[in-house]
């Protein structure tokens, strides 16, 4: 008997600001739509364990996408003629996400993202709160400086190995080696300059220090951060959560910056109660 | 800790490590390691830790100095290091500054994979 996972992968063409983007997504389950956002420089494979988790996908239609230039989602056709190097912005990131949700006709999805996918949740809370049900902001805070580095796209440096190694220490030593090195592998496979370009959003364009307290609080935000995250420390998340109306802060022991892929079993044990609350509110 | 005998054990752990033979194939660089007040010039050649010396003087050459308090390195060397001490970049990132990096920063980024792998061997001593 073949061991076949419940995940289905498809492509959808998403119109956004005069372009059409061919976006790859994987999905499994039925119920409340829940869109999962990968970290900088990687792709939807980070969510494979949650996609396959029966306790999650019995109540949620779990959808993990590759944003343009990541994984199987190709860049816009004219990328090679761009006069500036790739820099992800909050405006494009949140806009393309909402366009993706519209293209799939998702009814008020839960958005769950990690790292840059967590930080974008604050922008969604500010600009698109009427279109989302709840936000699960993993390894997120209002300001995460120090990562937009030229070394990550440099002709004398191996981009894949260096990007992957630079994030390896963000994972907890208690996380299983097989999953930590699988996460390393994903990072080693990013397109040239994509990790660096994403980090423009993560460390530069995302600066909510004057915005967090102004969020209206009309959509619940669940912050979840691992104690081994040295890019977004528990203290940074707690500080942001204190300023966020209608939020909850969960600090996860023995886990780091990539909870869903570095230690899925432990992360899911923290995630289930959050999903139960979202179910109860729906 | 971090005395000559400890350095010899680290050298042995690096040079006998199987994957280092391919991870470090192009890893040739000279560093200064500062473990508190104890400093060593450390030379890697094609992934082998070929020499180290605590005789730091006007003829000592190195590309990058990696310095931190002995207490920081001691935490890094624990079998399960505590949060923020489990990785060179974690300790040296500007947010934390538990280690300092002075000199040719590109040496770190060009050799990050092999250097990190060599540092991880400190936990085998």
What pLDDT is stored for residue A39 in this prediction? 98
What pLDDT is stored for residue A282 in this prediction? 86
- Say yes or no: A170 contacts chain B, CB-CB below 8 A: yes
Taking only the tens place, the pLDDT of each residue in B15-33 is 999 999 999 999 999 999 9
The answer, yes or no, to whether residue B121 has pLDDT greater than 90, is yes
- Say yes or no: B110 contacts chain A, CB-CB below 8 A: yes
**Domain assignment present for A3:** no
- For residues B67-90, average pLDDT: 98
- Closest residue, chain A, to B87 (C-alpha): A169
User: Do the Cβ atoms of B95 and A230 come within 8 Å?
Assistant: yes
What pLDDT is stored for residue A129 in this prediction? 97
- Closest residue, chain A, to B78 (C-alpha): A173
Task: Give the count of beta carbons closer than 10 Å to the beta carbon of residue A247.
Answer: 20
All residues of chain B having their beta carbon less than 8 Å from the beta carbon of residue A168 are 87, 116
**Domain assignment present for A2:** no
What pLDDT is stored for residue A13 in this prediction? 98
Taking only the tens place, the pLDDT of each residue in A46-63 is 999 999 999 999 999 999
**B4-119 homologous superfamily:** SCP2 sterol-binding domain (3.30.1050.10)
**Total domain count, chain A:** 1
Q: In this structure, what CATH number is given to the domain that contains residue A18?
A: 3.40.50.1820
Question: In whole numbers, what is the pLDDT of chain B averaged over residues?
Answer: 97
Write the DSSP assignment of B31-50 as a string of letters. Answer: EEEEETTEEEEEEEETTEEE
The residue range of the domain holding A67 is 8-281
- Kindly tell me the burial class for residue B123, based on how many C-beta atoms sit within 10 Å of its own C-beta (0-12, 13-18, 19 or more): middle
Cα distance between residue A28 and residue A6, in whole Å? 6
Cα distance between residue B28 and residue B23, in whole Å? 12
* Nearest residue, CB atoms, A168 vs list B106, B110, B116: B116
What pLDDT is stored for residue A222 in this prediction? 98
Alpha helices in A128-263 (DSSP H): 159-168, 177-188, 194-200, 234-243, 259-262
User: Do the Cβ atoms of A169 and B112 come within 8 Å?
Assistant: no
**Domain assignment present for A171:** yes
What pLDDT is stored for residue B10 in this prediction? 98
**Domain assignment present for A36:** yes
What pLDDT is stored for residue B22 in this prediction? 97
* Nearest residue, CB atoms, B112 vs list A162, A174, A227: A162
Counting as low any pLDDT under 70, the low residues of chain A are none
List, in order, residues 6 or more apart from A207 with CB less than 8 Å away: A142, A143
Cα distance between residue B112 and residue B125, in whole Å? 21
What pLDDT is stored for residue A139 in this prediction? 98
**Domain assignment present for A46:** yes
Cα distance between residue A20 and residue A74, in whole Å? 11
Cα distance between residue A59 and residue A32, in whole Å? 6
- Say yes or no: B93 contacts chain A, CB-CB below 8 A: yes
- Say yes or no: A200 contacts chain B, CB-CB below 8 A: no
């Amino acid at each position: 008997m073949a061991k076949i996972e419940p995940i289905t992968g498809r492509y959808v063409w998403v119109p956004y600001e005069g372009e059409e983007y061919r976006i790859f997504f994987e999905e499994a389950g039925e119920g409340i739509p829940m869109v999962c956002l990968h970290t900088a420089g990687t792709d939807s494979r980070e969510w494979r364990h949650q996609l396959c988790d029966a306790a999650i996908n019995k109540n949620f239609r779990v959808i993990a996408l590759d944003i343009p230039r990541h994984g199987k989602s190709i860049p816009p056709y004219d990328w090679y003629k761009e006069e500036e190097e790739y820099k992800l912005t909050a405006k494009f990131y949140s806009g393309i996400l909402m366009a993706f949700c519209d293209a799939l006709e998702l009814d008020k999805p839960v958005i769950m993202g990690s790292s840059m996918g967590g930080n974008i949740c604050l922008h969604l809370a500010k600009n698109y709160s009427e279109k989302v049900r709840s936000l699960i902001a993993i390894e997120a805070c209002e300001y995460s400086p120090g990562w937009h580095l030229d070394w990550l796209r440099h002709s004398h440096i191996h981009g894949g190995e260096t990007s992957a190694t630079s994030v390896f220490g963000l994972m907890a030593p208690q996380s299983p080696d097989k999953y930590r090195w699988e996460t390393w592998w994903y990072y080693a496979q990013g397109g040239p300059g994509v990790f660096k370009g994403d980090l423009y959003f993560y460390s530069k364009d995302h600066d909510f220090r004057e915005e967090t307290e102004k969020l209206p609080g009309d959509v619940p935000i669940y912050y979840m951060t691992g104690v081994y995250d040295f890019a977004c420390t528990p203290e940074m998340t707690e500080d942001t959560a204190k300023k966020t109306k209608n939020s909850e802060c969960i600090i996860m022991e023995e886990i780091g910056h990539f909870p869903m892929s570095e230690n899925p079993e432990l992360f899911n044990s923290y995630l289930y109660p959050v999903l139960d609350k979202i179910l109860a509110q729906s | 800790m971090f005395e000559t005998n400890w350095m010899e054990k680290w050298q042995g752990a690096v040079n006998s490590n199987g994957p280092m033979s391919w991870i470090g194939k192009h890893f040739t660089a000279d560093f200064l390691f500062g473990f508190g007040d104890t400093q060593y010039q450390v030379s890697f050649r094609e992934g082998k830790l070929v020499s180290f010396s605590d005789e730091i003087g006007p003829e000592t050459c190195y590309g990058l100095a990696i310095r931190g308090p002995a207490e920081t390195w001691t935490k890094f060397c624990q079998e399960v290091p505590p949060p923020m001490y489990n990785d060179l970049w974690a300790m040296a990132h500007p947010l934390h500054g538990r280690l300092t990096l002075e000199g040719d920063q590109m040496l770190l980024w060009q050799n990050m994979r092999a250097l990190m792998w060599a540092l991880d061997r400190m936990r085998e001593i």
